[in-house]
Structure 1
Amino acid sequence: MADPSGTTGTGGLRRALTGRQLGMIGLGGAIGTGLFLGSALAISHAGPATVLAYALCALVAFVIAWALAEMVVVHPEAGSFGAIAHRYLGPLAGFVQRWTYWTIQAIAVGGEIVAAGLYVRFWWPQLPLWPLVVTFAVLALGTNALAVRFFGTVEYWLAMIKVVAIAVFIGLGLVLITVGLPRSPATGLANLTAHGGFLPNGLEGLFLAMVFVLFSYIGTEVVAVTAAESERPERDIPRAARRMVLRLVLFYVLAIAVVVAVAPWTATAQGGAVDASPFVRVVEGAGIPAAATIVNFVVLTAALSSANTNLYLTTRMLHSLAADRYAPAWAGRVSRTGVPRNALALSASGPGLAIALSAVTDSAYLALFGISVFGALLVWILILSTHWAFRRAATRRSPVRLWGAPVTSGLAALFLLAVLVSTAFIDGLDTAWMVGLPFFAVLVVAHTVITRRRSR
């Protein structure tokens, strides 16, 4: 338990995040722009069966979230699953997991900030991109530099916009499907079986869709990272994890069901731009003017919310690494308000590098994307491996227990491993192994060098 100052076991961080903020931060980290614009890639492989892909991948996300909740309630410390991996799997696992997570989230921050600039240019295409990117980067840094309670408030309202938008979309979509809207007749469910059937590309297409859909659930681990700054982690973390996963399932499955029912999947699969988003079609069908503008605003807030949360995650991971002397000691210092601003400044170099490289050459962007894919799957597999070691050690029984473990966690880990192997044979994801494996090797060598220097 924390002492009255609220900093015990947190490395100087303040326990100031409420249960309400934790829930929204979790959703904010998990729901990015992919649902609004990027779901077309999964639909192109599985057609209407993409709904099944989202439902099945939700089971994996639930296992990971619940395994994390079980461990974090016992160890609500800075560094979250990275620090717990250090405790149960050893220093190498903790080092690799935290630096990998820092890297993939830093890349994600850069990607979301660039995306936010592009969304603004939807309204004013004549604007140069770099001033917009710099502006959004400064806003994200400023929000994270202030007290964590302020960050929680900002992220709560940014995430709320996404949640309300998705809920309204689902509601309007269900009306459009069943009874129709003023400007559009009822679509019914014919689009679910037309154009090749419900599963047009067979089980292979469903599996390929699941590979892409799985990345929509990256961010379910966000709640665990906030444990060191939660007011009551033993109560709020399990509650936030359960609500977040259930809401993700509800939003993703229902939203995608509306998408594939409202428009032929062959048309949706060619989307990607704001104008082509099925969200725009539903809003237009409701007779609401400037549908594309409304959806673009929602997508813009989704990008800013994800960038804001991911920057928070990179900062806390770096702070944890500094506490274990695997990052510069000054990165572990906190301000009077309990914010690791030095770690924040160093984390800002991550999105800066991602932005610079993505602007210079496409091959650099593909390399960053490959590290992100490989790193995300590696982090999840290590989380489940840590949970297995945590259960085996049984030093303290958690009040929150993952049902069916270690069978459920083992099956989830095997699925993630299968996805990781399959990325080597999937166009667009084949850079994962080509770049991710050397990146992993560099981390192992770095850990060996640091360990030897410390032993001397």
Structure 2
Amino acid sequence: MSHTPNMQSALGNGLTSRQVTMISIAGIIGAGLFIGSASAIATTGPAILISYALAGVLVLLVMRMLGEMAVAQPDSGSFSTYASRALGPWAGFTIGWLYWWFWVLVIPVEAIAGANILHAALPAVPAWLYTLAIMFLLTGTNLFNVKNFGEFEFWFSLIKVVAIIAFIAIGVMAVTGYWPLARLSGVSRLWDHGGFMPHGGGAVLSGVLITIFSFFGAEIITIAAAESKDPGQQIRRSTNLVVYRIALFYLLSIFLVVSLVGWNDPQLKEQGTFQYVLKTLNLPGAEILVSAVVFIAVCSCMNSGLYTASRMFYSLAQRGDAPQAGTRVSAGGVPRVAVLCSTLAGFAGCVANYAFPGKVLDFLLSSTGAIALLVYLTIAVSQLVMRHRLERSGQPPEFKMWLFPWLTLFTIGIILLVLGYMFFSPAFRYEALMTGAVTVIILMLSFFVTRRRTTQSRGALRPQPRAVQTMR
């Protein structure tokens, strides 16, 4: 697949500073925090705070490494492009398609989750019709102008941030005894039910594996910033904000959850983390409020997933690793073919879910288990290689990774340790094997495409016979 530049082959810069800033602030707030955190708490107990802290530190270090590369060379392909430059085309091909695969499977999951929320509120309309409506609406926001995506995501993000801050305010009042509707206050539930680590220290690592995927999406800012007017400044500012977002949105909110309700309360998983906490605090209309916020979070995640998958497809096409049609860009700077390809994959996931409920989509999702860790590993190794190259050339980066190379090597070691744990842990082995199988398939495709491209290049360079050269 060779790439021939189009007349319109560059993305626009339609994302404003306020849109990029809000996307970066709320990019890691998804349904995984509002609902999925209940599973993490049940697995680990109050020690889930350690799991979130460890996962947060890992994400902070990875984002700093990615920020170093992205500030120097903003690109819609982000870490996939950097992997190609640092490790070779096979690495960019593999991690780019794995990342695309992850997000196109997230799209139908989020659409179906949003449809179920609407169906529960208005059961007269079938759930599949809600799914189609959500898919068509958010596809439309991504097809015509990047400003549409940015504006939708700005308001989605603002609602999520306001909801989290409101929850934290209520939680702090309840813990300190100033919430008039609460029957109990204090933080005794942190050790009341079997202690702070009821399942032992090993469960903390299992908690990291569950929580790491809640943070996945923080890297979207380096993709989105490439379509803003000052990408370097946006990436630098957003990367510096990561530590505050993790501390406020995850650590503080989850601390309040495990302080206010028992970690082993079955209602926590059945009703959802935030919803159950607010119900125990007797907040009027808690169920409706949280359902509305979760619906917004689901739509936000799907909107971001569609945007991210399309930009990765576009970047792969630019490098000749996806069909050339993916490089076509509209007058508004939108890669419409890339958007449509990603949307069609999402629609296929929705059809599979309704045609074979609980089978095909669940099977496909199990292949995404370790992709976040593989992406983080690729970022760390790419930064290690590119930084050494820059220093040898006498051009150190403006925005630097801390304590290089020691923190980079430490991060690589931690990621390899966690991946190893996945393969040896019965609870995660199947997901790890599925992810590994998909990775091997994509690697094989990578070698095939790379070899074909090399063969074509050699053929083009080979001297032509004289008879052909002199033809008129």
Q: TM-score, normalised by structure 2?
A: 0.90
Q: Equivalent residue for 1:26?
A: 24
SS at match of 1:13: coil
Who is 2:467 aligned against? none
- CA shift, 1:189, in A, is 1.1
Range that drifts further, 442-451 or 177-186: 177-186
CA contact (8 A) 2:183 2:281 kept: no
Contact 1:19 1:240 in 2 (8 A): no
- What residue number does 2:83 align with? 85
Of 359, 364, 381, 2:360 maps to 364
Is it true that 1:384 corresponds to 2:380 in the alignment? yes
1:146 corresponds to? 144
Deviations 1:238-267 (A, max 9, x none): 101221442132110011001000111111
In 1: Cα distance, 2:132 partner to 2:442 partner: 30
Q: 1:181 Cα deviation (Å)?
A: 2.2
Q: Is this contact kept in 1: 2:67–2:235, CA < 8 A? A: yes
Q: CA deviation at 1:386?
A: 0.5
Could you tell me whether the CA contact under 8 Å between 1:183 and 1:286 is conserved in 2? yes
The range that moved more, 95-104 or 120-129, is 120-129
- Residue 286 (structure 2) aligns with: 291
- Of 52, 56, 59, 2:57 maps to 59
Give, in whole Å, the separation in 1 of the partners of 2:446 and 2:172. Answer: 53
**Is the contact between residue 36 and residue 272 of structure 2 (CA under 8 Å) also seen in structure 1?**
no
Q: 1:302 aligns with which of 297, 300, 310?
A: 297
1:351 counterpart residue number: 346
Aligned partner of 2:126 in structure 1 is: 128
Q: What are the residue-to-residue correspondences of 1:309-320 with 2, within 5 Å?
A: 309-320=304-315
Deviates more, 1:419-428 or 1:138-147: 419-428
Mapped to 2, the partners of 1:124 and 1:71 lie a distance apart of 47
- Determine the C-alpha separation between the residues in 1 that align with 2:281 and 2:359: 42
Question: 1:333 is matched with which residue: 325, 328, 342?
Answer: 328
- Counterpart secondary structure, 2:132: helix
Q: Which amino acid aligns with 1:403?
A: W
Q: Which residue of the partner structure matches residue 5 of structure 1?
A: none
For residue 272 of structure 1, the aligned residue among 265, 269, 272 is: 269
Cα distance between partner residues in 1 of 2:416 and 2:267: 30
| Contact 1:66–1:241, Cα closer than 8 Å, also in 2 | yes
Q: Which residue of 2 aligns with 1:36?
A: 34
Is contact 1:25–1:309 with CA below 8 Å preserved after alignment?
A: no
Cα distance in 2 for partners of 1:358, 1:406 equals 45
Alpha-carbon contact 1:28-1:155 (below 8 Å) kept = no
The total of aligned residue pairs comes to 444
Correspondent of 2:169 among 148, 167, 171: 171
Query: What are the ranges of 5 or more consecutive residues in structure 2 without an aligned counterpart?
Result: 1-7, 457-472
Using the TM superposition, give the Cα deviation of residue 316 of structure 1 relative to its aligned residue in structure 2, in angstroms: 0.4
> In the TM superposition, what is the alpha-carbon distance from 1:279 to its structure 2 partner?
2.1
Give the Å deviation of 1:284. Answer: 4.1
Asked whether the equivalents of residues 65 and 245 of structure 1 are also in contact (C-alpha less than 8 Å), the reply is no
Written as runs of structure 1 = structure 2, the 5 A alignment for 1:400-415 is 400-415=399-414
CA 1:281–1:450 in structure 2 vs 1: closer, same or farther (change >3 Å)? closer
Deviation per residue, 1:316-344 (Å, 9 max, x gap): 00101111111111111100000000100
Deviation at 1:438, TM superposition (A): 1.9
For the residues of structure 2 that align with 1:434 and 1:126, how far apart are their CA atoms? 41
In our comparison, the structure showing a higher alpha carbon Rg is 2
1:219 equivalenced with 2:217 (yes/no): yes
Q: Residues 127 and 429 (structure 1 numbering): CA distance in 2 closer, same or farther, change over 3 Å?
A: farther
* Distance in 1, Cα, partners of 2:43 & 2:376: 24
Q: Which SS does the other structure have where 1:295 is aligned? A: helix
> Take 2:165 and 2:430, find their aligned partners in 1: how far apart are those partners?
36
Deviations 1:105-146 (A, max 9, x none): 111111111111111122124432110110000111011112
SS of equivalent to 1:30? coil
Distance in 2, matches of 1:451 and 1:375, equals: 22
| Alignment partner, residue 393 of structure 1 | 389
Conserved? CA contact 2:190–2:196, under 8 Å? yes
- Give the direction of change, closer, same or farther, for the CA distance of 1:16–1:290 in structure 2 (3 Å limit): same
CA distance in 1: counterparts of 2:301 and 2:326, whole angstroms: 23
- 1:195–1:264: 8 Å Cα contact kept in structure 2? yes
Assess, with a 3 A threshold, how the Cα gap between structure 1 residues 425 and 366 changes in structure 2: closer, same or farther: farther
The separation in 1 between residues aligned to 2:452 and 2:55, in whole angstroms, is 43
Report the secondary structure of 2:74's partner residue.
coil
Indicate the residue corresponding to 2:442 in structure 1: 443
Q: Which amino acid aligns with 1:335?
A: S
Q: Quote the residue 1:3 is aligned against.
A: none
Identical counterparts, % of pairs = 32
Q: Is the 8 A contact 1:116 1:303 kept in 2?
A: yes
**Contact conserved, 1:72 with 1:227, CA < 8 A, in 2?**
no
- Structure 1 range deviating more: 422-431 or 64-73: 422-431
- Residue 362 of structure 1 deviates from its aligned partner by 3.2
Counterpart AA for 2:372: A
- Per-residue deviation, 1:208: 1.2
CA–CA distance in 1 between the matches of 2:31 and 2:296? 9
Instruction: Give the TM-score of the pair, scaled to structure 1.
Output: 0.93
Question: Residues 107 and 306 of structure 2 are in contact (CA less than 8 Å); yes or no, is this contact kept in structure 1?
Answer: yes
